[in-house]
Structure 1
């Protein structure tokens, strides 16, 4: 079972890196924090996936901890972006609404993916730990 979970972490890492790149492409260099955080956490997820594939149990804990941390962070950031977006809708600033809408969609997608990875990790945690030994 651990190869499948390791592939999930690898996909999650590539997804996070891709979201960082997409943020910069759509929003410009003011989204460089998304690029840095997506790259950093994406690399951590890739490391967790690689070492889990090598049957290292600590990599599973790294992947679960990262998914849990990112679920909380992205939930907070998505709710903050949504509240800012609702305030911008009252001002009717089309450019700001467009940029904040893109940011909200990217962050909300990252939240959903982190929640999905966390749920699958929790579901298979016991089985993977017994398989790794």
Structure 2
């Protein structure tokens, strides 16, 4: 019983860490900081590819498809959680909530190879995201909210 509770707590902690959206790492601009990058209007292809990746990631996550979902993590995020722990988190999310919770109303603010994405998770408003960080690595969008 204690082992199950420990695994459940570790899984919950990992789930929260991976789904939480924090701005505490964002630095306020100061006079000594370089000028912020200009936000450019993304092309429809850039936005479309990102929106599709967000939808695919969310679908894989709630289906319990850990391999696919882990493959969408940025290198930085993958370096913070083992594939095994992530898989346990995804399996637990599938057990707790089941499949069929697509990302809807996906809106992306793209600036170069970085983006902030806001979307809803159908049927699970507690998982709705606002300004979730994503990064383009090697031409592919990756989940970067770790």
TM-score of the superposition, structure 2-length normalised?
0.30
TM-score of the superposition, structure 1-length normalised?
0.32
Structure whose residues are more often helix by fraction: 1
Structure whose residues are more often strand by fraction: 2
Relative contact order higher in (CA < 8 Å, ≥ 6 apart): 1
